[in-house]
Amino acid sequence: MRPGLIRNFCIIAHIDHGKSTLADRILELTGAVDARKRKDQILDAMDLERERGITIKASAVTVDYEHDGERYMLNLIDTPGHVDFHYEVSRALTACEGALLVVDASQGVEAQTVANAYMAMEHDLHLVPVINKIDLPSARPEDVALEVEHALALSSNDCVFCSAKTGEGVADLLRAVVTKVPPPQADSEAPLRALIFDAEYNDYRGVIIYVRVFDGTLRKGQRVRMMGTGHQYEVQELGKFRPEPQVHAELAAGEVGYCVANIKTLDDVNIGDTVAEVARADVEALPGYRPPQQMVFCDIYPTASTDYSKLRDALERLHLNDASFTFRARNNEVLGFGFSCGFLGLLHMDIIQERLERESGVDLVQTAPTTSYEVVLHGGQVVRADTPSDMPPMAEWQEIREPLVRCNMIIPLESIGSVMKLSEQRRGAYVRQEHLGPTRVMLVVDFPLADIIYDFYDKLKSATRGYGTMDYELLGYRAADLVMVDVLINGKPAAALSFVSHRSTAEDRGRRILMRLKKEIPRHLFVVPLQAAIGARIIARETISAVRKNVTAKCYGGDVSRKRKLLEKQKEGKKRMKSIGNVDVPQAAFLSVLENQ
């Protein structure tokens, strides 16, 4: 097809603003799906996505559309809804020339609306603002159009008003796609260059990659090479989802489709990589590739140690579908065998954990999330440490750097005081604020990732009575005054409890941990000191006083069995504890520290 008749576009939106419903309506209106047979939200394949209203995997659907007597090919590229999948979103955006920016007519502009819109602008996409859900009684489409103008400098006159639910205005929207989104600049004669913008694993077909052909033509039987990995494959099948798969012999420049090429695992594929012809490998790779970067880490343990291998199998299976999280075996001195896992962000972590529990049936213990640090050693060597146990000793540090994120929060105007206060508590650095209308404001604050990784979102929600939304993007690593805090039980360090903290909050956090331990560790026959220390310097101290009374007064013939069983139970309880510095520490004590921050 002539590139002039192709439109590649995506829909971007804040969660629950109606992206999936709109996609369904577009499929119906273009005749790709029979309205009577449709399932809601066809593009969301997984139950979990549907339940959470989040699209995890991107996919692409091709529909035909008649306009002014011409037959257009519209490629709707679905993008993940959350900025945790920032990189995946950016690859999907690269495959498009335009984007529908969907905003809920009653909720208005939200944090992810802004984050997604900025990202689309960075990719030079033409944005079509869409005010959706105009059928709602609480809809305020004109206000929201003005919010779009204030927040994003997109003219309110360009907004398309629609209701994906009733179908009203959707035809206008399709017209806007054809008339406003530019066609791809494509040269079918040039050497092949296709962008892998997504991939998924299928039990029967192996890996299916989604590609956008920029130059040349991708053909069945062609020998291709992934320029990043260097792996070579023969193209076995090409096609498009309409939305059922439809086999094609080739995908020409400007087109979007899927490709099957006997690729075994997702680890073999890099999203963002360029597919070239083996015979013409001298081409330049498409720009922008980078490996996924895990920013959030936590340990996952099976509650029952016998479930370890079940958990490992489940992680391996999940990894086939999502190569962007990492896991490695870990042996915690108290919690036993488990895994250290890395995630793109907090939501990504939640999704993986939920899927793990659901798909494996294993009860999990999850430690509080941490982030990764860069340590510059005295020799100048830079070490990345994803968990405190990877951290080199403090004496070897020349400098330590932590990830810094830019966070935009959209909140009711009246909450600004409490959100500013919350931000200060989390070491936030104010950047700017923008009024989106008379009652809503966007606050931009830079935070150390470590300070918003745990319970910040919950706190923001309660500071804004549920109305606040947030999103963040990584700015990079920045040197900070961080320290490694050790926790000592009866003078012996409990390695599993060491943590990295900003110096200014180390004492507070240390004290909180000691209080938790004090609550959970039973009294012993001797006084047990608990300490938090930076190197040799004690920064906090608590004491567990000794047992004063534990004696059975009466023990005669009829009491012996019961009494022995009670003592056996005491002993069993001790056995399940971890002994540190002669102190029996119950698992619950570790969990009370590790699950919280």
Q: Applying CB under 8 A, does 153 fall inside the site for another protein?
A: no
| Binding-residue total with another protein (CB under 8 A) | 25
CA 80 distance to own-chain centroid: 10
Q: Which helix (H) or strand (E) holds 20?
A: helix 19-29
Select the span of 68-76, 146-154, 171-179, 545-553 touching another protein (CB under 8 A): 545-553
Select the span of 63-71, 284-292, 413-421, 563-571 touching another protein (CB under 8 A): 563-571
CB of 303 to another protein, least distance (A): 26
CB of 556 to another protein, least distance (A): 5
Kindly calculate the radius of gyration of the chain based on its CA atoms and give it in whole angstroms: 28
Interstrand relation of 223-226 and 245-248 (parallel, antiparallel or unpaired): unpaired
Contact criterion met (CB below 8 Å) for 169 and 160: yes
In the complex with another protein, the residue whose CB is nearer, 250 or 584, is 584
Binding another protein (rule: CB under 8 A), the pick from 551, 580, 594, 596 is 551
CB of 340 to another protein, least distance (A): 34
In the complex with another protein, the residue whose CB is nearer, 35 or 555, is 555
In the complex with another protein, the residue whose CB is nearer, 476 or 558, is 558
Select the span of 74-82, 332-340, 482-490, 561-569 touching another protein (CB under 8 A): 561-569
Region of 391 on the Ramachandran plot (φ > 0 left; ψ -120 to 50 alpha; else beta): beta
Binding another protein (rule: CB under 8 A), the pick from 153, 395, 536, 553 is 553
In the complex with another protein, the residue whose CB is nearer, 279 or 547, is 547
Region of 106 on the Ramachandran plot (φ > 0 left; ψ -120 to 50 alpha; else beta): alpha
- Kindly report the length of the chain: 597
Contact criterion met (CB below 8 Å) for 209 and 258: yes
Helix axes 111-122, 86-94, angle to 10 degrees: 50
Q: Applying CB under 8 A, does 543 fall inside the site for another protein?
A: no
CB of 561 to another protein, least distance (A): 6
Q: Applying CB under 8 A, does 547 fall inside the site for another protein?
A: yes
Interstrand relation of 237-241 and 583-585 (parallel, antiparallel or unpaired): unpaired
- Please tell me whether the peptide bond between 586 and the residue prior to it is cis, using omega within 30 degrees of 0: no
In the complex with another protein, the residue whose CB is nearer, 223 or 523, is 523
Q: Which of 232, 230, 231, 249 is closest to 240 using CA atoms?
A: 249
Residue ranges in 287-386 assigned as alpha helix (H)? 308-321, 346-360
Lookup: tokens for 370 = 């941490």
Binding another protein (rule: CB under 8 A), the pick from 280, 384, 526, 535 is 526
Select the span of 93-101, 171-179, 444-452, 543-551 touching another protein (CB under 8 A): 543-551
In the complex with another protein, the residue whose CB is nearer, 382 or 567, is 567
Select the span of 13-21, 373-381, 400-408, 551-559 touching another protein (CB under 8 A): 551-559
Show contacts with another protein in window 566-585 (CB under 8 A): 566-568, 570-571, 574, 582
Select the span of 102-110, 345-353, 459-467, 549-557 touching another protein (CB under 8 A): 549-557
Site map for another protein, 321-360, x if CB under 8 A? ----------------------------------------
Q: Phi and psi for 277 in degrees, rounded to 5?
A: -80, 140
Binding another protein (rule: CB under 8 A), the pick from 437, 563, 586, 588 is 563
Binding another protein (rule: CB under 8 A), the pick from 457, 556, 586, 595 is 556
In the complex with another protein, the residue whose CB is nearer, 430 or 526, is 526
Binding another protein (rule: CB under 8 A), the pick from 37, 537, 548, 576 is 548
Select the span of 34-42, 62-70, 312-320, 542-550 touching another protein (CB under 8 A): 542-550
- Residue 136 identity (one-letter amino acid): L
Query: Which value, to the nearest 10 degrees, does the dihedral of the CA atoms of residues 178, 183, 188, 194 take?
Result: -100
In the complex with another protein, the residue whose CB is nearer, 137 or 557, is 557
CB of 569 to another protein, least distance (A): 9
Contact criterion met (CB below 8 Å) for 581 and 490: yes
In the complex with another protein, the residue whose CB is nearer, 390 or 584, is 584
CB of 544 to another protein, least distance (A): 14
CB of 516 to another protein, least distance (A): 23
Q: Applying CB under 8 A, does 549 fall inside the site for another protein?
A: yes
CB of 58 to another protein, least distance (A): 59
Binding another protein (rule: CB under 8 A), the pick from 438, 525, 536, 576 is 525
Q: Applying CB under 8 A, does 287 fall inside the site for another protein?
A: no
- CA dist 439 and 413 (Å) reads 5
Contact criterion met (CB below 8 Å) for 58 and 210: yes
Site map for another protein, 475-514, x if CB under 8 A? ----------------------------------------
CB of 571 to another protein, least distance (A): 5
Region of 108 on the Ramachandran plot (φ > 0 left; ψ -120 to 50 alpha; else beta): left
- CA dist 391 and 371 (Å) reads 12
CB of 580 to another protein, least distance (A): 15
Show contacts with another protein in window 245-284 (CB under 8 A): none
HEC secondary structure over 53-98: CCCCCCCEEEEEEEECCEEEEEEEEECCCCHHHHHHHHHHHHCCCE
HEC secondary structure over 120-168: HHHCCCEEEEEEECCCCCCCCHHHHHHHHHHHHCCCHHHCEECCCCCCC
HEC secondary structure over 423-478: HHHCCCEEEEEEECCCCEEEEEEEEEHHHHCCCHHHHHHHHCCCCCEEEEEEEEEE
Lookup: tokens for 352 = 């993986």
- CA dist 144 and 167 (Å) reads 20
Q: 358: how many CB neighbours lie within 10 A of its CB?
A: 12
Binding another protein (rule: CB under 8 A), the pick from 399, 492, 564, 596 is 564
Which class for 107: exposed (0-12), middle (13-18), buried (19 or more C-beta within 10 A)? buried
CB of 547 to another protein, least distance (A): 5
Binding residues for another protein, per CB under 8 A? Answer: 525-526, 547-558, 560-561, 563-564, 566-568, 570-571, 574, 582
